[in-house]
Amino acid sequence: MASSARHDSSSLPDLKFQVCIVGETLKENDALIKSVEHFDLPIVYSSSGVEFINQGAEFTTIYILDEFEGDTYTSLHKAGQRILGPTTVMQYAKKNEPLPNNIRPLYTTSMKNLVISFSGFRVKEELNAMVVLIHHMGGTIRKDFNISKTTHLVATSAAKGGEKYKYAASFGVPIMTSEWIYQTWARRRDANCNATDDELMQYKLLPFAGCKLAFIGYQGDEEKHMIEVSVKNGGEVVQPTDPSCTHIVVEDGSSVNCSEYDHKVHIIKNEWFWASIQIEAKAEERIYVFQNPNTTTSSSSFIMPVRGNKRKRLESVARQLAVEGCDYFCLNSDVKRKSDIAA
């Protein structure tokens, strides 16, 4: 049986709202009760809340649930009821703002104002599950990638050849893994949690995830360092002749017989490696295609040439290279200047 505790609702004279706190766990949550009382609305307690669904015009009930799953949640959700999580209630009370007039169940506002696109996901059930969680956290989904609106791209390593990934990398839009969504949801009871907190932004898609890298022309400690950086940034290091190799990074001053390697392998200058580190995404390979010495001039004509084992100098120009790569990508594409990218 439901019990009730009324509060002065004079601030909403034309609307009749009540808050239904569902379940014993929330009934004992003093911080939640105090936050609900802040809104000066009638409060009722119930084990399931279903008795208030057909209450008619007497009250519009706002249901507060501790779990967004199970029979109780499903019954209320299917009935089109307004559902909030305890975290959302505490967040709005703390900000002294009215409770949201939400259509979808809202557990927390940790993704409020975020506009998220997806790329590379092929399993519909997996994608749908992530979309639901984002909505539960106040985020918005865009099917297309919009340069002016999309704040984050959630992608797999398989998406790195797609237009969404390239645009996100070029315009500095964070590229995240699905784990970012799951870890943010795991913190849904933390009213101070924000999906853009440093602790959660570590779940970015690493620049070399899905890449199998090989190195030519590096020796000793320099080669060891390149391998360590590769692995730290999600890459796997293989031999240049390995059939699975995706990228061969060539040190300045080295010569390579490109015909010895699979034509699908990207044979690229070492600037590509450091540019990828700098922009935290796989840089566009076509900007950094390797050609043997004396056969071409560098596309980075404004940068002093770097030869030998000059890792520190390479790292120092990485930002310039990344910026140049972004400009090249943006200025040499007519179709790609569209604001909405669906790939």
Domains of the chain, earliest start first: 16-95 (3.40.50.10190), 115-202 (3.40.50.10190), 212-287 (3.40.50.10190)
The pLDDT of residue 194 is above 90: yes
The pLDDT of residue 61 is above 80: yes
Q: Give 62-65's long-range contacts (Cβ < 8 A, gap of 24+).
A: 62/17, 62/18, 62/19, 62/20, 62/99, 63/20, 63/22, 64/19, 64/20, 64/21, 64/22, 64/26, 64/32, 64/36, 64/89, 65/22, 65/23, 65/26, 65/105
Confidence at residue 340, expressed as pLDDT on a 0 to 100 scale: 58
The pLDDT of residue 14 is above 70: no
Query: What distance lies between CA 152 and its chain's CA centroid?
Result: 5
pLDDT digits (tens, 9 = 90+) for 310-321: 455 444 444 444
Q: Rounded to whole angstroms, how far apart are CA atoms 74 and 53?
A: 13
Give, rounded to a whole angstrom, the gap between the first and last alpha carbons of the chain. Answer: 53
The pLDDT of residue 186 is above 80: yes
pLDDT digits (tens, 9 = 90+) for 108-160: 999 999 999 999 999 999 999 999 999 999 999 999 999 899 999 999 999 99
Confidence at residue 27, expressed as pLDDT on a 0 to 100 scale: 95
Instruction: Provide φ and ψ at 266, rounded to 5°.
Output: -80, 115
DSSP code of residue 99: P
pTM: 0.82
What average pLDDT does range 162-180 have in this prediction?
96
Q: Rounded to whole angstroms, how far apart are CA atoms 332 and 63?
A: 53
E-assigned strand segments in 109-184: 115-119, 140-141, 145-146, 152-155, 175-176
Give the Å distances, CA to CA, from 321 to 161, 209, 266, 276: 20, 21, 18, 9
What average pLDDT does range 284-305 have in this prediction?
66
22 is written with which tokens?
């569902």
pLDDT band at 293; cut points 50, 70, 90? confident
Indicate the SS3 state at residue 267. Answer: strand
Q: What is the mean pLDDT of the chain?
A: 86
The pLDDT of residue 296 is above 60: no
The pLDDT of residue 305 is above 50: no
The pLDDT of residue 231 is above 90: yes
pLDDT digits (tens, 9 = 90+) for 200-213: 999 999 999 999 99
Whether 242 contacts 214, CB under 8 Å: yes
Of 54-68, 77-91, 289-303, 325-339, give the lowest mean pLDDT range: 325-339
Q: Rounded to whole angstroms, how far apart are CA atoms 150 and 143?
A: 10
